[in-house]
Amino acid sequence: MMSEEIIKDVIIGENEDYIINMGPQHPSTHGVLRFEVCLKGETVKYLIPHIGYIHRGIEKMCESLTYPQIIHLTDRMDYFSAHMNNEAVCLVVEDAMQIEVPERAKYIRTILDELGRLASHQLWWCAFGMDLGALTAFFYGLRDREHILDIFEESFGSRLLHSYVMPGGLMHDVHPNFQNRIKEFIKYFRKKLPEYDQLLTGNVIFQNRTKGIGYMSKETAIGYGVTGPSARGSNYSCDVRKLAPYGAYDKVQFNESLMTEGDTFARYQVRMKEMWESLSIIEQLVDNIPADDYTAKMKPIIKLPAGEYFRRVETVRGELGVYVVSDGNKSPLRIKFRTPNFSNLFVMNEITPDIKLPI
């Protein structure tokens, strides 16, 4: 006698997990992580993220490097928010040594932060479109991002990993063309951004694919430590630029983009709004860069007084915390980067079940 349970279990295999791997070589994960996705039909039952494929032991390396040398490593943690990562370390060092950064440096840092945010959001937009199958979006996003990278290249010589922010200010002054180029770019991009909306945001296929998918409540976001645009889509106000302004953020008017729906489309809209906000922040700052020194006077060898320091900045993807334990030497005893993606990723298992496979 076979009971119904046994028939279901053994013969039909109903309780058997059908697991497919998304990554690390899968086209949608680009070699950085692996999702172990368990399916029932086309519906996701559960999803386990596996990370560490590009873990480079930066924290260990930092223990034998001086602070200016650490900065060039922070670029590589998240290369789309290289400036913000640099700035986070610089803020810690400046805090600890009590250095007053010149206004000019603060303004330029803030402009660079926002330009970096724009460049990253453009790349996010095009990669998001590509993952959904709209390949043309990918090229439009990259086309516009090129203008920002050109601005970066003209001033700092590199397009992606520019260790340009130094403790005390900047590495060298910006190119004389800097302001003009930014103004040109803003004029150009204000015309192109509505096209993004027409191509993807309004599209009925796109809206059906994203609305109601991956719902994350505010409590889930806080509990898992999700920050940045992902959390702001759940009406969780967590913008460090507003909460604890650094740089020149206290001198500009901007709104924190919040959405209440908490689904993928809300998170998408938060980022689209942030692009407009970034444009307006840059517009407010670019004409008012004060003529000043680009850096404060710094000692050739930077030694932090013994103690523990913690600073947070808002990177593109959320809150980056830098925790430094110094014993008075020129390199830290322990440095810990609380990266936003580490926390943002692990909420995946909470929000993905019961949605269809193309996430």
Partner 1 sequence: MNSILEYFTDLFKGISTLWAGMRITGKYFFSPGEIVTQQYPENRKTLKMFDEFKGEVIMPHDENNQHACTGCGICEMNCPNGSIEIITDRVANADGKVERVIDKHIYHLSMCTFCGLCVKTCPSDALAFGQKFEHAVFDRNKLTKVLNQPGSTLRKEAK
Partner 2 sequence: MLNRQELTDIIREFEPEVEFPEGTPLLEAIVPAEKLFALTEKLKSDKRTAFNYLINHTAVDFSTHFTVVYHLDSTEFRHLVVLKSLIADRENPKIDSLTALYPAAEYFEREVFDLFGIRFNNHPNLKRLFMEDDYGYPLRKDFRDEVNIIER
Partner 3 sequence: MNTNMSSNIYDFSTLTGAIHTWLSGMMSSGLVIFTEMVLVGLAFLLMYALLGLFLVYFERKVCAFIQNRVGPNRVGLYGIFQTIADLIKLLMKELIPIRKSDKLLFNLAPYIVIICSFLALAALPYAKGLQAIDFNIGVFYVMAVSSLSVIGILLAGWSSNSKYSLIGAMRSGAQIVSYELSVGLSLLAIVVFTGSMQLSTIVESQANGWWIFKGHIPAFISFIVFLVASTAEINRGPFDLAEAESELTAGFHTEYSGIKFAFFFLAEYMNMFIVSALGATVFLGGWMPFHVGNWEGFNQIMDYIPSVVWFFSKTFFIILIIMWFKWTFPRLRIDQLLTLEWKYLLPISLFNILLIAFTVMMGWHF
CB of 287 to partner 1, least distance (A): 23
Write the CB contacts of 247 (distance below 8 Å, at least 6 apart in sequence).
87, 106, 107, 109, 110, 113
CB of 132 to partner 1, least distance (A): 12
**Near partner 2 by CB under 8 A: residue from 170, 238, 270, 281:** 238
Q: Give the three-state DSSP class for 307.
A: strand
Cis preceding linkage at 24, omega within 30: yes
Which residues share a beta bridge with 313?
A: 320
**Near partner 3 by CB under 8 A: residue from 161, 199, 298, 333:** 199
222 binds partner 2 (CB under 8 A): yes
Which CB sits closer to partner 3, 215 or 323?
A: 215
User: Helix H segments across 75-214?
Assistant: 82-97, 103-131, 135-156, 178-196, 204-210
193 binds, among partner 1, partner 2, partner 3, none (CB under 5 to 8 A by kind): none
317 binds partner 2 (CB under 8 A): no
Torsion of CA 53, 56, 58, 64, to 10 degrees: 150
Write the CB contacts of 104 (distance below 8 Å, at least 6 apart in sequence).
169, 289, 290, 291, 292, 293, 294
Q: Give the three-state DSSP class for 203.
A: coil
**Near partner 2 by CB under 8 A: residue from 57, 191, 198, 291:** 57
**Near partner 2 by CB under 8 A: residue from 94, 113, 277, 319:** 319
Site for partner 2 in 60-79 (CB under 8 A): 60, 64
358 binds partner 3 (CB under 8 A): yes
Q: Give the three-state DSSP class for 308.
A: strand
Asked whether the beta carbons of 209 and 358 are under 8 A apart, the reply is yes
Which residues would be at the binding site for partner 2 (CB under 8 A)?
51-52, 55, 57, 59-60, 64, 95, 220, 222-225, 236-238, 243, 307-310, 312, 319, 321, 323, 325, 333-334, 336, 338, 342-343, 346, 350
Which residues would be at the binding site for partner 3 (CB under 8 A)?
18, 20, 26-28, 39, 42, 129-140, 143, 199-200, 203, 205-206, 208-209, 356-359
